[in-house]
Amino acid sequence: MKKTVTADEARDILLSLSVQRETETLSLRAARGRVLAENVTASVPMPPFDRSPFDGYAVRWEDTANAAQSLPAVLRIVEELPAGTAPTETVGAGMAAKILTGAPIPAGADSVIKFEETERDGGTVRIFAPLKPCQNVIYRGEELEQGAVLLEQGALLAAPELGMLAAQGRERCAVYKRPTAALFTTGSELTPPGVPLEPGKIYDSNNAMLAAMLEEAGFDCLDLGAVEDDAERIAARLEQALEQADIVITTGGASVGDYDFAHAAVERVGAEVLFRKISMKPGSCVVAAVKGNKHILSLSGNPGAAAVCLLRVAMPYLKRQCGRCDVLPEEIVLPLKEAVRKASPVTRLLRGRLEITDGRAVFAENPRQGNGMIASLRGFELLGEIPAGSPPLEAGTLIKAYRF
Ligand code: AMP
Ligand code: MG
């Protein structure tokens, strides 16, 4: 087993891991943010009948073919159709039906003329110009035909998807149960927020940040706190985490220093190591392992590195664990807004965003890219990737970026 892998290899190894697939049925309101666990086809066409796009008169266009300002077509109004009514009359030659937005086009009629373009005179309407054939009709099935795929299994349910389900008369849908991710941090320097800091200690920021990232990805996150740098205690916490969750995320001690126990803990609980270093910067220190159908990902304690590694390597896998079908980030190519002054012996990942300068999209690096820095993750939308072996790069050099 190769223990040092590239970012893509690491991503693919994680993506190939087994996925838990329990489902539940929820109301549309409760399903927001969840992942659809069924393919949904249109059981009714959208719209379900030919309808009028505005208030006007439904007519036969031939009846207006010779209409002119000086010689209007005069049509007899046979019916009035507000939205929600079903027509009862057929519009024959010389006839019209008053129709309101969303009402069904009555039999016989093939076109609609706006109110504003007509004149009403008692029981008749006057039209002063010819209509084009079949003008102003929204046809049955124009948006979606009956039986067509409405939403695919694995789709994230946000406002449009929920609206589409409701438009089909669905009040409930099958979704994947949220998998559980247990999260604990390691480091004898860590202090939970809310407690005064002792000398040499720092606040645990990974816990709050990663819990949020995991929840956004679709997990229920189980917070198992922080553990000091003690091999036995870390292994014990890992054991507990494996019992309680589908996947376990830890931070700290993922390197090979004297106080780095992530790897030892993984071995101690009898998990199989998948890889333990990724050739990229930041985020190279990581231990990925499996035990049965449970997965362990031990990330660097450096917040910047932990977040970058989670996004670049683990996010597609995390989304797939939650049932998502579209899991890979979009890849785009952009010119660098500013030069990258350092050479990149290994793949370099830059936290950045898309900016427009002189009407062109560019990759703008966020300030404060240090491994331990969190601020560079704010407003972050792109992870720029500079290939291994690159020299310093001029502004304007095209680079690949992953869009999140
Ligand atoms: P480690 O990965 O344990 O070698 O830690 C790398 C750096 O990240 C050290 O400076 C740690 O103090 C810091 N660090 C470790 N864990 C956390 C955490 N949970 N929150 C903030 N910083 C951390
Ligand atoms: Mg440490």
pLDDT value, residue 50 = 98
Tell me what the mean pLDDT of segment 287-302 comes to: 98
C-alpha–C-alpha distance, residues 392 and 271, integer Å: 41
- Residues 59, 61, 62, 66, CA torsion sign: positive
Structure tokens at 338: 């500013």
- What are the residues facing 335 on neighbouring strands? 398
Note the pLDDT tens digit of each residue in 134-167. 999 999 999 999 999 999 999 999 999 999 999 9
pLDDT value, residue 48 = 96
Tell me if 187 CB under 6 Å of ligand 1.
yes
Per DSSP bridges, beta strands 172-176 and 23-27 are antiparallel
Tell me what the mean pLDDT of segment 27-38 comes to: 98
Structure tokens at 20: 């838990």
C-alpha–C-alpha distance, residues 401 and 125, integer Å: 61
C-alpha–C-alpha distance, residues 97 and 147, integer Å: 32
* pTM of the full structure: 0.93
Residue 2 has pLDDT above 80, yes or no: no
C-alpha–C-alpha distance, residues 285 and 113, integer Å: 68
Tell me if 210 CB under 6 Å of ligand 1.
no
- Residues 2, 283, 241, 256, CA torsion sign: positive
Tell me what the mean pLDDT of segment 319-331 comes to: 97
| Least confident interval from 18-27, 207-216, 296-305 | 18-27
pLDDT value, residue 21 = 82
Note the pLDDT tens digit of each residue in 84-105. 999 999 999 999 999 999 999 9
Q: Which of 288, 284, 289, 316 is nearest to 300 (CA)?
A: 284
Testing ligand 1's pocket by substitution, the residue of 184, 188, 202, 297 carrying the most ligand atoms inside 8 A of its CB is: 202
pLDDT value, residue 343 = 97
Note the pLDDT tens digit of each residue in 343-357. 999 999 999 999 999
What residue owns the CA closest to ligand 1's atom 5?
301
